[in-house]
Chain A
Amino acid sequence: MLYLQLLVNGIQTGALYALIAAGFSLIFGMTRIFHAAHGATFTIAGFVFYEFYAVLEWGLMPSILACAVAAGLFGVLLNRWVYVIIQRHEGSFFTVFAASFGAVIVVQNLISIVFGKGMVTVTTSLSRSVELIPGLYVAPMAFIAVIAAIVCFALLHYLFTHTNMGVALRALGENPGLIDVFGLNPKSLGNYAFLIGSVLVVPAAILTAATSGLNPAMGHHVMMISIAATIVGGVGSLRGAALAGLLFGLAENLSLAFVDPQWSEAVTFIILFLFIIFRPGGFYGRAIVS
């Protein structure tokens, strides 16, 4: 029964990791920008939702909308006002990374100033688990997390296969140089990548607010999982990142049946190391022309 419980927990955690990792992978795969501030987007989304839903009491749908607007706006503006400008002048990978990291620190401290440095949660009865069968406790949040993940990925799949913009984004990811030849604008496509990637954190941020709670420093853990999942899934593959996120969530929880909880973080990185050694391209890796 413990295994079944851990499996269910793993699927819930994995669904959230998959969503966050997919957003980062989308941005990194399409624009080749190491958007370390993706964790900051997650933190902003969570706190904006908390502010509108729990403090101002605006209602669920308006709060979700506000959350999505805030996340998308942050991603796009960071791209336009920081990354694009750096790339115009010198565009070194590490300069962009340093700028991104700086953004994380600024966001963390701004949120601390506004919301305090402690933890806040959105209280809802949906996070309380019910004993479905003796020994198996599942909360309604778990079902919501999985359904939200499935819906988001279905929408993404539709976007990338049946819309012009989605196809253009995939082209940008595969060969940025050729984009200009076809008359497409890589800069505006980059903005769309940031918009979609940033809005993808919204379901995970809302679910985290209701289950584990929010604090200004929570972006770091999220970033580590995103980066690891992007590498394990293969750079440029959303499906891979999502699968890798799910794998990490499952591994983190199922390993608890065999080892002490203090090793659960190590399990994620052991998987990462194994992939780097034996399959560096990840699940769906492909050769990158640079």
Chain B
Amino acid sequence: MKRLIVGLAVFQAMAGVAVAQDLKIGAAFPLSGANAEYGEIFASGANLAVEHVNADKMLNGNLVLVYEDSQGLPTQGVVAANKLINVEKTPYVLSAFTGVSKAIAPLGTRNQVVMVNGGGVGPDLATLSPYFWNVIPLANFEVKTMAPYLVKDKGLKRIAMIYVDDPLGDAALQEMKAELKANGGELVGSFSIPAAAQQFSGVAARVRDTKPDAVYIATYGNQQVQLVKQLRDNGVSQPLASYSAFSTPSMFKLPEAEGAIFTSQHINVDNPDPRTKRMVSDYRAKYGKDPNMYAINYYNAVLTFADLAAALQKQGKPVTGANLLELRKNTPSFDFVGAKVSFAEDGTVKAPIQVNEISGGASKVIKSAQ
């Protein structure tokens, strides 16, 4: 009996040593609720990155990604981030959604935990905190590309805008106002919708009343799909335009979304560098389709951690948020899938923006990035 207990204790100690070496990073994604579709897409990229990091043995120990559900809501995001920071003790957290990111950024600053966003595009995200990094170009770049495309390339000067009543929508509205003015267009109407709204026949009636040349939509998740369908059902036949949030399978599948245009960051999936090739081919093999920019962004976010953590481990330094930030500032460039990028001082990356059109259930590039 005594031998059994001693044996178990030794075994426990050994197992304990192996677990202590695991490096944990966290992710606060919408895993349920109206925006859960994004959570699935983000996770597909992040999980593939974790697989690759562990297969390549880039780090001393296993890389483990711990998920918490933010539901895409700021209050839930704070709960999720608190759990990751205080219970799971992750030095690096993947974030998404402008509202959630703004809510959890102070936690990162206070606890010196790096938070990386690869999905939200509100321009405020650039100035949240030195610990808050963005691997996705923010909406100001997207609107800066779409506004001149609509006004100058397509001759659509009168724009009506429907935006969600939250930080992203508000930021998009400010950008659109400024950009339309600068390019000779006119914002003929702006309509704010509650984030949980599902009926839009009334909004469609008001949009029709303004007689716009085109309608710009700034929302996300299931709401944007419902909005597009109901706009078309209620007599709004003008061209629809939006930003990168349109890149979801449900939007592409919606028959009423045919012909809608949206901006997105340019990612060259045919880039010949080994990281890109491996990510794209493994993703295709696993999911049967090309990775979209969200999957790629979160893949890049995890690999950024792996690159920085591996370097810190080589230098014999502990992998903490403060050390990760310090090292990132001193790293000139990172090999992201699709391009080599550098982080600006405020933790954002610049990437060229392209214009896409939804056609036949998929998207095609109609104006490539400059």
Decide if A13 touches B201 in the complex (CB within 8 Å). yes
Q: Is the CB of B194 within 8 A of A2?
A: no
Taking the complex as formed, is A162 at the interface, i.e. its CB lies under 8 A from any CB of chain B?
no
Given A117-B40, A131-B235, A217-B32: A5 in contact with B250 (beta carbons within 8 A): no
Whether B206 lies near A256 (C-beta < 8 A) is yes
Residue from B37, B39, B194, B232 within 8 A of A265 (CB atoms): B194
- Chain A residues 106-148 with CB under 8 Å of chain B are 108-109, 112, 116-121, 123, 127-129, 131, 135, 137, 139
B47 within 8 A of A: no
Shortest Cβ distance from B37 into A: residue? A118
Interface membership of A221, Cβ < 8 A: yes
Per the bound structure, the CA–CA distance linking A10 and B202 in Å amounts to: 8
**Per-residue A-contact encoding for B220-261, CB less than 8 Å = 1, 0 else:** 001001100110111100000000000011100011000000
Q: State whether the Cβ of B282 lies closer than 8 Å to any Cβ in chain A.
A: no
Do B225 and A213 touch (CB < 8 A)?
A: yes
Which residues B205-223 have CB closer than 8 A to chain A? Answer: 205-206, 208-209, 222
B197 in the interface, Cβ–Cβ < 8 Å? yes
Interface residues in A200-249 (C-beta closer than 8 Å to B): 211-213, 215-218, 220-221
Closest chain A CB from B33 CB (angstroms)? 5
Does A261 lie at the interface of the complex (its beta carbon under 8 Å from any beta carbon of B)? yes
Contacts of B234 in A (CB 8 A): 129, 137, 139
Residues B32 and A112 in contact, CB atoms below 8 Å apart? yes
Question: Once bound together, how far apart are the Cα atoms of A256 and B194, in whole Å?
Answer: 13
Q: How far is the CA of A6 from the CA of B206 in the complex (A)?
A: 9
A260 partner, pick from B192, B196, B255, beta carbons under 8 A: B192
* Complex contact B225–A119 (CB within 8 A): yes
* Count of interface residues, chain B, beta-carbon cutoff 8 Å: 38
Q: Is B139 an interface residue (CB 8 A)?
A: no
Query: Residue of B at shortest CB range from A127?
Result: B233
Q: Is B333 an interface residue (CB 8 A)?
A: no
CB atoms of B192 and A128 under 8 A apart: no
CB-CB < 8 A to B37: which residues of A?
Answer: 116-119
Contacts of B198 on A, CB cut-off 8 Å?
212, 218, 221
Tell me if A9 is interfacial: C-beta within 8 Å of chain B. Answer: yes
Is B203 in the interface zone, CB < 8 Å from A? yes
The complex places the Cα of A127 from the Cα of B232 at a distance, in Å, of 10
B247 → A minimal CB distance (Å): 12
For the complex, give the distance between the alpha carbons of A216 and B71 in Å.
13
Measured in the bound complex, the distance between the Cα atoms of B197 and A176 in whole Å is 38
Pairwise interchain contact A213-B248, C-beta atoms closer than 8 A: no
The A74-92 residues at the B interface (CB cut-off 8 A) are: none
Assuming the contacts A212-B229, A217-B36, asked whether A5 and B193 have C-beta atoms less than 8 A apart, the reply is no
Interface pair A120/B250, CB less than 8 Å apart: yes
**Is A262 close to B, CB under 8 A?**
yes
- Expressed in whole angstroms, the Cα–Cα distance for A265 and B165 within the complex equals 12
A165 to B175 Cα, complex, angstroms: 62
Interface residue B34 (Cβ < 8 Å from any Cβ of A): yes
CA distance A2 to B196 in the complex (A): 24
Residues A252-275 near B (CB distance < 8 A):
252-253, 256, 260-262, 264-265
- Tell me the bound Cα distance from A121 to B230 in angstroms: 11
B201 CB contact (under 8 Å) in A215, A218, A253: A253
> Is the pair B36, A252 in contact by a Cβ cutoff of 8 Å?
no
Residues of chain A within 8 A of B34, CB atoms compared? 215, 217
Asked if B127 is at the interface of the complex by the 8 Å CB criterion, the answer is no
Any chain B CB within 8 A of the CB of A12?
A: yes
Instruction: Return chain B residues, CB-CB under 8 Å to A108.
Output: 32
Q: Is B191 interfacial (CB 8 A cutoff)?
A: yes
Q: B32–A109 contact, CB under 8 A? A: yes
Partner of B192, one of A118, A129, A261: A261
- In whole Å, how far is B93's beta carbon from the nearest beta carbon of chain A? 22
Q: With both chains docked as a complex, state the minimum distance between the C-beta of A6 and any C-beta of chain B, in angstroms.
A: 6
| Complex CA distance for A217 and B33, rounded to whole angstroms | 5
User: Inside 8 A of B197's CB, which chain A residues have their CB?
Assistant: 261, 264-265
Given A13-B199, A211-B233, A260-B192: A118 touches B248 (CB 8 Å cut-off): yes
The residues of B that contact A116 with a CB separation of less than 8 Å are: 37, 40
Q: Which residues of B contact A221 (CB under 8 A)?
A: 196, 198
Q: Which residue of A lies closest to B164 (CB)?
A: A262
- Determine how close the nearest CB of chain B comes to the CB of A268; give it in whole angstroms: 11
Check A264 against B202 for contact (C-beta < 8 Å): yes
**B residues in contact with A137, CB < 8 Å:** 205, 208, 234-235
> Which of A12, A108, A109, A137 counts the most B-chain CB atoms under 10 A from its CB?
A137
B249 contact from A118, A123, A127, Cβ within 8 A? A118
Most buried by B among A116, A118, A135: A118
Pairwise interchain contact A262-B192, C-beta atoms closer than 8 A? yes
Please, which residue of chain A has its CB at the minimum distance from the CB of B36? A117
Contact B230 A117 (CB under 8 A): no
- Inter-chain CA distance A10–B203, complex, in Å, is 12
Give, as a whole number of angstroms, the nearest-CB distance from A247 to chain B: 15
- What would be 13 A-B contacts, judged by CB atoms less than 8 Å apart? A2-B206, A5-B205, A6-B202, A109-B32, A117-B36, A118-B250, A121-B254, A212-B200, A213-B229, A256-B202, A262-B193, A262-B194, A265-B194
Hey, which bits of chain A sit against chain B, CB under 8 A?
Answer: 2, 5-6, 9-10, 12-13, 108-109, 112, 116-121, 123, 127-129, 131, 135, 137, 139, 211-213, 215-218, 220-221, 252-253, 256, 260-262, 264-265
Q: Considering the complex of A and B, which 6 residue pairs feature the smallest CB-CB distances, nearest first?
A: A117-B36, A118-B250, A137-B235, A256-B202, A118-B37, A262-B192
5 new A-B contacts, CB < 8 A, other than A117-B36, A118-B225, A217-B34, are: A6-B202, A211-B229, A213-B229, A216-B36, A260-B191
